[in-house]
Structure 1
Amino acid sequence: METLMELIGTVRQYLEIPILKLGGAPVTLWAIIQLVVLVALLFYLSGKLRTWIVEQFLTRTRMELGARQATGSIIRYTIIAIGFIVILQTAGIDLTALNVLAGAVGIGVGFGLQNIVNNFVSGIIILFERPIKVGDRIVVGTVEGDVVHIGGRSTTVVTNDNITIIVPNSKFITENVVNWSHNERKVRFRIPVSVAYGSDVHLVERLLLEVAADNADVLEKPPPAVRLMEFGDSGLNFELRAWSTTLIHRRGLLTSALNYGIYKAFTENGIEIPFPRRDIRIFNDGMGNPS
């Protein structure tokens, strides 16, 4: 037992040997070990606290999932910032001695970490302003999918192909973002339809409305509508406008279902869907030779 205590005392003496100085305060290996362990513990416990707040505490309120996620993330970042300062003081590191180090880090941030800081600040803005939230259907650039997580540096989006795409937060601040479910989960779909000249336009309108009414994913209110948009080169161009709340995440499915119904209705009622036609005229030079 005495041998063990002597060994511990010897190790403690070595750990308390100063290895560098910050200002006038010595920094020992023991202080660095404390710092690393406490910082790791801080990140672990703050993550657990965020999970408890989002999945248990705030579920008792009427807050939606996106608001709970944002609140939990903001609380975690605040605890990390305060806890880091407390840990530095607990480890015996003089904060005033970090001024020079902070200046050096600031220069490094200005040159090498611009994108990281930009994305982090953008993440904070997203959490406060909430232009997007977890569960939203968004389109940013060429990426379209559902937001499943908003982090400090990036946002995770899952597409209809079950592909996870990590989007930097700055994209949502600097680029145009289409949020299909920002206000309410009610979206109008536009289905272009072309019919041949000479078709009964009133019959076309009736058939299109019947197809929309027969689809369970199309809302009755607001009611679907049909518009004759233009006189095209090959036919009359109509547009079926239908509202839905159930398939905004799978717009292609609703469009396909309506197109199937339209084609069947047109075929049964003799409505022709035109295709491009070209008239070719051949002239001769009076001697029977084409020119």
Structure 2
Amino acid sequence: MEGDAVTLTQDIALGLWAQAELFLRGLLRPWNAYQVGIAVGLFLAAHLANRVLGPLCYDWMRRREGWPKWRMRILVMLHRRLRLIFFVMLMWPAVWILRATTWPSRSYMLSIFAELALAWLTITVVTRLIGNSFLRALVRYAGWTWATLLILNLTDEAQALLDGWAFELGGTRLSVWLLVQAVIVIGVLFALARFVSTASAAQVRRNEDISPSMQVLVVKVLQLLLYGAAFFIGLRTVGVDLTGLAVLSGAIGVGLGFGLQKVVSNLVSGVIILLDKSIKPGDVISLGETFGWINSLGARYVSITTRDGREYLIPNEDLITGQVVNWSHSNDFVRLDIHFGTAYGDDPHKVRKIAREAASGVTRVLASPAPVCHITGFGDSSVDYILRFWIRDPTQGLTNIRGNVYLALWDAFQTNGISIPFPQREVRMLEDGPRGG
């Protein structure tokens, strides 16, 4: 197999060398040399036009205030390629003039130059639609290469060369040409799948009848189906036998099952979380010492942002097996408790009334249900109370509302002469007693 590939490569290389030698000899003919000279002259003219008109176009673009960003981006992209645009604009009229005034053979090379320039310019402009820079560069260079081979009528030689290098995998012959086709087809199908999934996700998120957790689940399942279908359809399109890959994927799956138990557990836990709707984006939860807001539900983890700006990535398995406090699961009403104490000399009835009124005057504390205050016990140096009040916006924080209520209690107690006792200790010095003889 390897010897045949080497022989085929040598034959193709010799054929290409013969064509290159024939091309170089053709340059010695007057009309071919004239065409090359015309192309070089038109390129210099395009370069000069870019030097003269480029700054004028740039100044005109700067004066276009208020234009949409997408239109300005197109103008900037075209401005960077003015030289090539001018070259194409000069080449094709020259080709048409030569075709109209002389024989087709005397404009053949100039037509090739014009077709190459137009193809490169078109591919450059079209690939700007690809957002990923690496993928854009890959598609651009591949497009330039294929367009050049197509215009020079070298596609058969290139295909034969790529198809000659092959290897066997599970009874399936995989050549470089087959892999190139697979990459191109799968890439196009993946781009279509991404477009469809993005548009479908936007439609799902706009549907208010679907809960946020179900929206995430629907989007994830849709993406999995689209990308999976794109992959297998792409392989089938280029003629890859999937039966051999099924055996290989089964063996790989068994190995991954043992090595990626935690990952699989998190994936399954994520699906369970989405199905039972226990948490959803925007909920306020507590898990151990972590208290924060759910940003997003991922396939492996849940993103939680705390009040101090830290973002925690909690594995889905921890949310299934651990004790989670969801402050906004079924409703947004949350009751908070505050413990305090006053001196024994203060009237408990007055203290309870002042505490309720102080809490009611704090922003975010609900008037209904109204705050309540109860005596919980008689301590060593104080009468102990509990103040309970309700809020309905836990996403705005819990510590800050507790602090505001404590501050309101302090101000109210200071105004009404209510004292907050603190532990005191009395130390007595005893004289030494009579010592025995």
CA shift for structure 1 position 195: 1.3
CA shift for structure 1 position 197: 2.1
TM-score by length of 1: 0.87
1:210 and 2:352 are equivalent in the alignment: no
CA distance in 1, matches of 2:182, 2:319: 35
Residue type of the alignment partner of 2:286 = V
The answer to which of 220-229 and 78-87 deviates more is 78-87
> Which ranges of structure 2 fall in alignment gaps of 5 or more residues?
1-111, 113-148
Alignment deviations for residues 119-156 of structure 1 (CA, whole Å, 9 cap, x no partner): 22222222222211111111223322111111112221
Q: What is the root-mean-square deviation in Å for CA atoms of aligned residues? A: 2.6
1:255 and 2:388 are equivalent in the alignment: no
1:189 and 2:336 are equivalent in the alignment: yes
Q: 2:306 aligns with which of 137, 140, 159?
A: 159
The answer to which of 34-43 and 245-254 deviates more is 34-43
CA distance in 2, matches of 1:80, 1:128: 22
Aligned to 1:76: 223
Aligned to 1:52: 199
CA shift for structure 1 position 204: 0.9
Give secondary structure in 2 for the equivalent of 1:63: coil
Alignment deviations for residues 50-74 of structure 1 (CA, whole Å, 9 cap, x no partner): 4433434541443344432332222
Matches for 1:88-107 after TM superposition, within 5 Å: 88-107=235-254
Residue type of the alignment partner of 2:259 = G
CA shift for structure 1 position 263: 0.3
CA shift for structure 1 position 260: 0.7
Alignment deviations for residues 36-93 of structure 1 (CA, whole Å, 9 cap, x no partner): 4555555555454444334345414433444323322222223333333333323433
Residue type of the alignment partner of 2:352 = E
Cα distance change, pair 93–210 in 1 and its aligned pair in 2 (3 A): same
Aligned to 2:322: 175
Cα distance change, pair 31–201 in 1 and its aligned pair in 2 (3 A): farther
Cα distance change, pair 3–121 in 1 and its aligned pair in 2 (3 A): closer
Alignment deviations for residues 13-33 of structure 1 (CA, whole Å, 9 cap, x no partner): 233246333332212223334
CA distance in 1, matches of 2:154, 2:188: 27
Residue type of the alignment partner of 1:29 = V
TM-score by length of 2: 0.60
> Which ranges of structure 1 fall in alignment gaps of 5 or more residues?
none
How many residues in Structure 1 have an aligned counterpart in Structure 2?
288
Residue type of the alignment partner of 1:276 = P
Aligned to 2:49: none
Higher-Rg structure is: 2
Larger helix percent: 2
Residue type of the alignment partner of 1:74 = V
Give secondary structure in 2 for the equivalent of 1:242: strand
Equivalent pairs: percent with the same residue? 33
Aligned to 2:176: 29
CA distance in 2, matches of 1:33, 1:122: 38
Aligned to 1:149: 296
Residue type of the alignment partner of 2:234 = I
Give secondary structure in 1 for the equivalent of 2:296: strand
The answer to which of 267-276 and 243-252 deviates more is 243-252
Residue type of the alignment partner of 1:214 = G
Aligned to 2:92: none
Cα distance change, pair 26–115 in 1 and its aligned pair in 2 (3 A): same
Q: 2:367 aligns with which of 213, 220, 228?
A: 220
Larger strand percent: 1
Do 2:204 and 2:219's aligned partners in 1 also have CA atoms closer than 8 Å?
A: no
CA distance in 1, matches of 2:171, 2:183: 22
